[in-house]
Structure 1
Amino acid sequence: MRTQLAGLDENLLALPLYEDHHRFAARRLAGWCQDRAELWEVPTDRAPDVSGLRILRALGADGWLAFLDPDAPSSGEAAASGDGTGTAPGLNGDFRSLCLAREVLAYADDLADFTFSIQALAATPIIRYGTEEQKRRYLPPMARGELAGSFAVTEEASGSDLAAVGLRAERVPGGYVLDGEKAWIANSGIAGVHCVIARTGEGPGALGLTAFLVPAETGGLSCDRSVRMVAPRSLGHLVLDRAFVPDTSVLGRPGHGFVIASDVLERFRMTVGAAAVGFARRAADAAVGHARERKIYRGSLFDLPSVKAALADSEVALNGAALLVARAAWEIDHGRRGYPRHSSIAKLAATESAQRIVDATVQIFGAAGLVADSVPERLYRQIRSLRIYEGASEVQQMIIAGSLDRKPVPPRAPASADAL
């Protein structure tokens, strides 16, 4: 165990990449997870829609989503003192806070992290691009955990290629008619509002996309809840069959959908890396605990050189991933223009490293790590999706490579003898 509060690395928190209010909020959330563990201590066959709504309502009721409502009283000042006397938990909505929250929640439970992250993901385009009326309508109930949201971009035929979105929005008097399908949409079955990216045709490819806020009660909108994932999650397909939405449902402006979707995904990729760090830390802690307790050859499993090597490799990879996530969050919080590159680096490194760490944990546990609903088995199923969500690892490689400076580096002048 790295600290008395599960999921936290106090040595990492002590670095100047973080401020006192980040440390306060992270510790308080870790304590909340320990106190509210009954929210996710349920059988393996739990219905993710039901569990997700229960967790969402608890997060909202206890103030962990308050930062989604810009007009709500700020929790940042209460957190800054670090005395724990305020009622606000302390998440102020910056990305270091979001990443730390996902690390802590992922360590505690996959569905807890999933619920928190999708709510933040769905609210962000409204916060950044919504009209005042849209913000007043949707953000307060989302911040209270009373209204779930979804971010509906992906389609079966387009995958990670945003410019290939095919769902059409036809202009009609007073609004638009949406026709098509979205696939693999988180919270699709429980969301009260969907942010849908559709093709309005202002231009070819990426230039012809628009974002819409589509309430769940919209006529012609339905959800196929039959999609079952390797890790239980509220996820399915959306069908829009001649669904009419008024002009007031446009988010931002027509033709601006690609910019909105890209902006949101660039921001949240680093938080996927943060969740991977939480999974990896849980796996690494479990592996060390099991290795020390498992008796073998007149000693413990921990005494075997091969096990020590595997644990050491996991610790190195975990530290590297956590630092890259912290660096990416620091970059965006300080307004650095190059943050999208670091967001992709953090996601790629953290998710790939976490996959290896979890696999090593299963190996160290042996047959015990394959038992259904054991910690290693759950982590093994849960970590796999993070290498795909918000852009697969191969997409991140393309983004990172595309961000490299292609200008030739001028040769250095030879040093003079006097300078040696």
Structure 2
Amino acid sequence: MVAFEHPHPHGALAPTAHLELPFFDDAHRALANGLVAWAREQHVDESDDRAACKEWVQRLGAAGWLRYCVPEAHGGALPALDSRALVILRETLAYHSPLADFAFAMQGLGSGAITLAGTPAQRAHHLPAVASGDQIAAFALSEPEAGSDVAAMALRATPTASGWTLNGQKTWISNGGMADFYVVFAKTEPDAGARGISAFIVNADAPGLDSSAHIQVMAPHPLATLTFMDCHVGSDALVGSVNGGFKLAMQTLDIFRASVAAAALGMARRAFAEAVAHAKTRKMFGQTLADFQLTQAKLGEMSALIDASAMLTYRAAWMRDRSSANGAGTPAYTAAAASAKLTATENAQRVIDMALQMFGGRGVQVGQPIEHLYRDIRSLRIYEGASEVQLLILGKQALR
């Protein structure tokens, strides 16, 4: 599939229509306008997901969009990571190409721990290169037996005279096998659960790191299992404090959780635009598909699902930005982000499914935008906190 090859003038993402809400300011609207204009001009052959991701990183870096993944002090566009800017970027990119969204998001997620807790040397070495697209970042948290239960991780980091030695595995690692560096979370106190985890920067060429086991998934994305066999890193590889890694991982995910909702929202908007365009032009029984009340009702339901997702997504990003010094990590923000992530991903799945049904046989034809979206959306209900985890967060919050 070549990204951006099926534009519909009457279904194109309106640059600022949904940004007139009070959650956003003029700088956010200007960002959206510029990004939409740029995105419409991009054409990337995505038949090879790894090659395409590298190209997207280069293009996003050259155009300055990756500068929103790091703070201004290290080549970024804004003084601090801005959740609303991340939401706009991911929603718009996902509308045009879910793989472009993936490439953008991983630069932010992969470097987020360094932004939050890195040493001056770590930040200087990695963040400007992430912002320019010269380095590809990755976030290595999940393991074969530790997905939703992060504290169950088994990757062990043992101290040595000159640093640390890592032994174990990570899996489902985005950008695995093509990243320049990984922020890796490992047990430094095996019996301490979540309180015994530390974070380390591991360069892709570190001896003892094998990232060759690529994982094939239904919507092609670069994923791999990482195997660490006596992989040595220096003492300067530690990010933040010893045994402070769990909190750091959660803080990083906290920043980007609302942006996952935004990616789902972008995909839902694209499916809706495709469905509207199809309904207006598809001839059936002497009229168009759009003339049937059943079609109108389905489009109405899709529109309402998208609006509900948008409100929760924008609210969560606004809450984090409004008081980022003390808002992120608070129960109110955590619940808002969980509500947004749950609703936007589940609603997007429903919207895309309804759009596919409207297309009939063409909806399942490989290479069609709807078929592509149908495969792309599914993983968003799992990664960075499965829907069931978000439900537990919201349920516990209600019981408080």
TM range, normalised to the smaller chain? over 0.9
**Partner amino acid for 1:63?**
G
Please say which structure displays the higher CA radius of gyration.
Answer: 1
> Following the alignment from structure 1 to structure 2, what is the Cα–Cα distance between the partners of residues 156 and 30?
39
> Following the alignment from structure 2 to structure 1, what is the Cα–Cα distance between the partners of residues 17 and 181?
40
TM-score w.r.t. length of structure 1: 0.89
CA 1:400–1:94: 2 relative to 1, 3 Å: same
TM-score w.r.t. length of structure 2: 0.93
> Following the alignment from structure 2 to structure 1, what is the Cα–Cα distance between the partners of residues 11 and 282?
24
Structure 1 stretches of 5 or more lacking a match? 78-91, 407-420
138, 146, 158: which one aligns with 1:158: 146
Q: How far apart are residue 156 of structure 1 and its match?
A: 1.3
> Following the alignment from structure 1 to structure 2, what is the Cα–Cα distance between the partners of residues 226 and 74?
31
2:15–2:32 Cα contact (<8 Å) kept? no
Q: How far apart are residue 11 of structure 1 and its match?
A: 3.0
> Following the alignment from structure 2 to structure 1, what is the Cα–Cα distance between the partners of residues 378 and 9?
27
Q: How far apart are residue 226 of structure 1 and its match?
A: 2.9
CA 1:151–1:119: 2 relative to 1, 3 Å: same
1:3–1:10 Cα contact (<8 Å) kept? no
Q: How far apart are residue 6 of structure 1 and its match?
A: 3.1
CA 1:178–1:400: 2 relative to 1, 3 Å: same
> Following the alignment from structure 2 to structure 1, what is the Cα–Cα distance between the partners of residues 76 and 379?
34
> Following the alignment from structure 2 to structure 1, what is the Cα–Cα distance between the partners of residues 38 and 10?
13
> Following the alignment from structure 2 to structure 1, what is the Cα–Cα distance between the partners of residues 104 and 132?
12
Which of 297-306 and 241-250 deviates more? 297-306
Q: How far apart are residue 5 of structure 1 and its match?
A: 9.1
> Following the alignment from structure 1 to structure 2, what is the Cα–Cα distance between the partners of residues 25 and 267?
19
Deviation string, structure 1 residues 199-236 (Cα, Å, up to 9, x no partner): 01075210110011111111000113431111111111
Matches for 1:12-411 after TM superposition, within 5 Å: 12-36=18-42, 38=43, 40=44, 42=45, 46-67=47-68, 68-72=70-74, 75-76=77-78, 93-201=81-189, 204-335=192-323, 336=327, 337=330, 338-406=332-400
CA 1:388–1:169: 2 relative to 1, 3 Å: same
Equivalent residue of 2:215, what SS?
coil
Q: How far apart are residue 71 of structure 1 and its match?
A: 2.2
1:7–1:103 Cα contact (<8 Å) kept? no
> Following the alignment from structure 1 to structure 2, what is the Cα–Cα distance between the partners of residues 272 and 351?
8
Q: How far apart are residue 124 of structure 1 and its match?
A: 1.2
> Following the alignment from structure 2 to structure 1, what is the Cα–Cα distance between the partners of residues 75 and 137?
22
**Partner amino acid for 2:29?**
R
> Following the alignment from structure 1 to structure 2, what is the Cα–Cα distance between the partners of residues 156 and 203?
19
**Partner amino acid for 1:277?**
L
Q: How far apart are residue 10 of structure 1 and its match?
A: 3.1
1:280–1:354 Cα contact (<8 Å) kept? yes
Aligned residues: 387
Q: How far apart are residue 2 of structure 1 and its match?
A: 10
